[in-house]
Amino acid sequence: PLPSFDPRFLETPTGAVRLQSPNYIRRDSDEKIERQILGGGSTTTIRAGRQMGKTSLLVRGANFAKEQGHRVVYLDFQQMESEFRSSLDNLLRYLADETTFRLGLSEDQLTKIWSSSRGGPDKFNHFMEASVLQDSAPLLIAIDEADQLMDAEYKTDFFALLRAWDSRRAFDSTWEKLSLALVISTHPHLLIDD
């Protein structure tokens, strides 16, 4: 039988599949990420080999979150300049700057918080509590290519910070508004030593 589509309109398989693409095939994982997002205050790890549709799934999860009224900050660690990955402090300041920009927050408060003598993780947590999580709308931080930090000497500290947020949700309802979705091509246990 003849195909029910015109092959001239097939997309060349490169990178993430566009949201509007008729060629995207929903999978069980689409429903799983949507349930995670609806549940709120979750950490989701999207793990598979290269070119298996992880970013396409993340994009659809982020779009679903927006449709549900969530604020979304999308970060692609592969596109991040190496100077921002050179230290934990540089990375966290970049993430705070990007979050401020994406959410339309005041740069003045971020500058004030970052001028303190505290360490990067404490500054970032203070920034999240004082600026980002004060809004009543839930927030999804979607990180693509998180395993770009696998060789960073501070990887354990960074992923421990993300894990600590999960613990904070248990005793501080402010943090329940925060959900994370991370795309990795490795086993999650390799991201943190403990």
pLDDT in tens, 107-151: 999 999 999 999 999 999 999 999 999 998 999 999 998 888 888
pLDDT in tens, 50-99: 766 788 888 888 999 999 999 999 999 988 888 998 999 999 999 999 99
Q: Over the chain, what is the mean pLDDT?
A: 85
Beta bridge partners of 143: 75, 182
Task: Return the closest-CA partner of residue 143 out of 41, 58, 67.
Answer: 58
pLDDT of the residue at 190: 52
- N-to-C CA span, the chain: 56
* 74: its two tokens: 């999308």
Q: What share of the chain in percent tops pLDDT 90?
A: 44
Give the Å distances, CA to CA, from 155 to 117, 123, 148.
22, 18, 10
